[in-house]
Amino acid sequence: MFLLTSLVACLILAVVMPFLGRRVLERRIVFVDLALAQFAATGSTQ
């Protein structure tokens, strides 16, 4: 069961991280914590 949970978590990260990286590059954000905050705010407003 532990390996299944780890596999699912890795797959979710593999799907989410490219979008987050693209967002950071588009906005030219230096600090990743600001990018995470903006990404979370975008998701909460929609």
- Give per-residue pLDDT as tens, 9-38: 899 988 988 887 787 777 776 777 777 777
Q: 27 vs 7, which has greater pLDDT?
A: 7
- Is residue 8 pLDDT above 60, yes or no? yes
CB neighbours (10 Å) of residue 46? 5
Q: What is the pLDDT of residue 4?
A: 92
- Is residue 45 pLDDT above 60, yes or no? no
Q: Where are the alpha helices (DSSP H) in the chain?
A: 2-27, 32-45
Residue listed under structure tokens 């596999």: 7
Helix, strand, or coil (residue 5): helix
d(CA 29, CA 35): 7
User: Taking residues 37-44, what's their average pLDDT?
Assistant: 72
pTM, rounded to two decimals:
0.52
Helix pair angle (2-27, 32-45), 10° resolution = 100
